[in-house]
Amino acid sequence: MENHRIIYLDNNATTRVDPEVFRAMEPFFCERYGNPSSIHRFGGEVAGDIEAARCRVAELLGAGFRDRDGIATEIIFTSCGTEGDNAAINAAFAARPGRNKLVTSAVEHPGVLAYARELIRRGRQVEFIPVDHCGRLDLEKLAAAIDDNTAVVSLMWANNETGTIFPVAEAARMAHARGALFHTDAVQAAGKVPINLDGTEIDFLSISGHKLHAPKGIGVLFVRRGIRFTPLIYGGHQERMRRGGTENVASIIALGRACEMARLALPDETRELARIRDRFEAALLAEIPRIRINGDLDNRLPNTSSVSFECIEGESILMLLDQFGICASSGSACTTGSLEPSHVLTAMGIPYHAAHGTIRFSLSKFNTEEEVDFVAATLPPIIARLRSISPYWEEQK
């Protein structure tokens, strides 16, 4: 692949580390490598750099609280988005000891869904709120599900497969009205849409560095001040006793810089991403019959395009795209040897013959109009070729 041009349209899976972010983290490997917990100045200075990064993260999230020392104590650094999701739900149950129920949605990331299933095994009650064919949350069912036994409601800000945005601010108010806490997995939303936590009642929010041009293996959990926080990981006194383990210093610095860059670029970048994405979708719709764009088209992430090509398999499309150096994802997962449509597409009721041929294209600031035009021109012959050998296409014609 080395001499081959790569067109990377899989940014909801992970993003390229921004070279500027990489430069910001570099000194923390071989030069400024002190332990922030050390008494000596060499380590102590690193602790200061961590606090500066913490403030930058808080600024992206619109979390304005600073303690007497000017520290954004609502921000806890974690190892990833998944840890933040688990830690938030765990802490919420600890903060609402008399309550036994989690309310979440059917389309969450496994960071929440797999933990929810584990909680069921441990005797907790979990209710999964359905979505409609556009992936929109059923707010009436949500209202009915939140009761006096609900400790926590956990809903993603934006869906990783379709980009559909949930009304999390409204859901947080609904949770509070019944005395429950509210967590949102904002892993896909952070850096792509504005977030202003101070204007909401959200109690916990998790993000992940590698979705916004920082490295893999770093995340953040926001915990609103005043909420009693029980850690998931016990150890040293790091993160004010809320997350044991020596800090991943270089990645924390990187995440701080990535958040700063995202905040400064947000409005322009969002507009440009949506423009390129919409141009891409318009080209596909004009050139390829029997396709559909999935998700809430009026309210979704600007970078995400989930496209169902009817009567063919997503994996075959991906393999042919790969020959052109084009990277995307399918909406299927391999379970017990057969390709099953993802839980998200299944929950949306996307018919089998469409769900099977679903590809997620997800853009970043590094993509160009020329790249998406190339992909849009490459796809029609690929789809025509696959349909010509698809018995299902013949049947459906």
Q: Which of 9, 74, 81, 330 binds ligand PLP (CB under 6 A)?
A: 81
With a CB cutoff of 8 Å and minimum separation 6, the contacts of 150 are 99, 101, 102, 103, 175, 178, 179, 180
Query: Least separation, in Å, of the C-beta of 189 and ligand PLP?
Result: 8
With a CB cutoff of 8 Å and minimum separation 6, the contacts of 354 are 292, 308, 310
Q: Which of 129, 156, 214, 312 binds ligand PLP (CB under 6 A)?
A: 156
- Distance between CA 58 and CA 223 in Å, rounded? 11
Our CB check for ligand PLP shows the closer of 80 and 354 to be 80
DSSP letters, 82-128, are: HHHHHHHHHHHHHHSTT--EEEEETT--HHHHHHHHHHHHTT-EEEE
Applying CB under 6 A, the span of 78-86, 277-285, 306-314, 332-340 interacting with ligand PLP comes to: 78-86
Applying CB under 6 A, the span of 17-25, 77-85, 335-343, 375-383 interacting with ligand PLP comes to: 77-85
Within 183-202, the residues that bind ligand PLP by CB under 6 A are 185, 187-188
55, 80, 259, 334: which one is catalytic? Answer: 334
Our CB check for ligand PLP shows the closer of 181 and 187 to be 187
With CB atoms as reference, the residue minimizing the distance to ligand PLP is 81
Collapsing DSSP to helix, strand or coil, 24 comes out as helix
Our CB check for ligand PLP shows the closer of 103 and 158 to be 158
Query: Least separation, in Å, of the C-beta of 207 and ligand PLP?
Result: 8
* Residue 350 contacts residue 164 (beta carbons within 8 Å): no
208 is a site residue for ligand PLP (CB under 6 A): yes
Query: Least separation, in Å, of the C-beta of 384 and ligand PLP?
Result: 32
**Binding residue count for ligand PLP, defined by CB under 6 A:** 12
364 is a site residue for ligand PLP (CB under 6 A): no
Query: Least separation, in Å, of the C-beta of 11 and ligand PLP?
Result: 11
The encoded tokens of residue 9 equal: 């349209």
Our CB check for ligand PLP shows the closer of 135 and 219 to be 219
Would you give the DSSP letter of residue 57? H
Q: How far is CA 321 from CA 86, 226, 289, 326, 356, in A?
A: 35, 50, 18, 5, 16
301 is a site residue for ligand PLP (CB under 6 A): no
**Helical H segments across the chain, by residue range:** 19-25, 27-30, 41-61, 81-95, 110-121, 139-145, 168-177, 238-241, 249-287, 314-322, 343-347, 352-355, 369-388, 391-396
- Distance between CA 58 and CA 65 in Å, rounded? 8
Angle, CA 349 vertex, CA 346 and CA 351 arms, to 5° = 90
Q: Which of 163, 219, 331, 357 binds ligand PLP (CB under 6 A)?
A: 219
At 164, which helix (H) or strand (E)?
none
80 is a site residue for ligand PLP (CB under 6 A): yes
With a CB cutoff of 8 Å and minimum separation 6, the contacts of 274 are 302, 303
109 is a site residue for ligand PLP (CB under 6 A): yes
Q: Which of 11, 15, 73, 82 binds ligand PLP (CB under 6 A)?
A: 82
160 is a site residue for ligand PLP (CB under 6 A): yes
Query: Least separation, in Å, of the C-beta of 119 and ligand PLP?
Result: 17
Applying CB under 6 A, the span of 59-67, 123-131, 182-190, 326-334 interacting with ligand PLP comes to: 182-190
Measured N-to-C along each axis, helices 110-121 and 81-95 cross at an angle, to the nearest 10 degrees, of 40
Q: How far is CA 83 from CA 89, 114, 153, 206, 222, in A?
A: 10, 12, 17, 9, 12
311 is catalytic: no
Query: Least separation, in Å, of the C-beta of 193 and ligand PLP?
Result: 13
Query: Least separation, in Å, of the C-beta of 82 and ligand PLP?
Result: 3
- Distance between CA 130 and CA 115 in Å, rounded? 18
Our CB check for ligand PLP shows the closer of 152 and 382 to be 152
Half-sphere exposure of 83 (CA within 13 A, CB side): 19
Applying CB under 6 A, the span of 75-83, 281-289, 323-331, 358-366 interacting with ligand PLP comes to: 75-83
Applying CB under 6 A, the span of 180-188, 225-233, 291-299, 363-371 interacting with ligand PLP comes to: 180-188
Residues marked active site are found at 334
Q: Which residues bind ligand PLP (CB under 6 A)?
A: 80-82, 109, 111, 156, 160, 185, 187-188, 208, 219
